[in-house]
Amino acid sequence: MSEPSAPPKPTASELEMLRLLWQLGPASAKQVHQAAIASRPDMAYATVLRLLQLMHTKGLLTRDESARAHVYAPAQPQDSLQTSLIRELIHKAFSGSGKELVLAALRGHVSARERAEIQAILDQEKPPAGKA
């Protein structure tokens, strides 16, 4: 039996809209469309509006209907959704091993700068000597 409050899994297009809304904050369909055409000039306003409406129906977005132009916002924080998606990916693709996910990501998907940043984070997390 699945959790009744488990968030719906967004499609690739829905994730694109969520990324825009996490950057913009609560926004109207027009504002989301303007942000979307910066990277996808072929994106029609009607497509953005329909996608936002569908995402609201699925529970991925909240919608403030108090103004003439409805304002959409992600239903859950970015880190929460990303953690949920990563947990599912680890379970499905890496037999539940977070280590295997990290190793796969490090093989060719991380720049030297990102690798140094990761190492710095790992170094901060090391327990003091003698307390391992």
Residue 104 has pLDDT above 80, yes or no: yes
Residue 124 has pLDDT above 80, yes or no: yes
Average pLDDT over residues 12-31: 95
* Residue 2 pLDDT grade (very low, low, confident, very high; cuts 50, 70, 90): very low
* Residue 108 pLDDT grade (very low, low, confident, very high; cuts 50, 70, 90): confident
- Specify the pLDDT at position 3: 46
- Specify the pLDDT at position 23: 95
- Specify the pLDDT at position 75: 92
Residue-wise DSSP of the chain: ---TTPPPPP-HHHHHHHHHHHHH-SEEHHHHHHHHHHH-TT--HHHHHHHHHHHHHHTSEEEE-SSSS-EEEESS-HHHHHHHHHHHHHHHHSTT-HHHHHHHHHTTSS-HHHHHHHHHHHHHHSPPTT--
Residue 84 has pLDDT above 50, yes or no: yes
Smallest CA-to-CA distance from 6 within 92, 88, 101 is with: 88
Give the predicted TM-score (pTM) of the model.
0.71
> pLDDT tens digits, residue range 58-78?
999 999 999 888 999 999 999
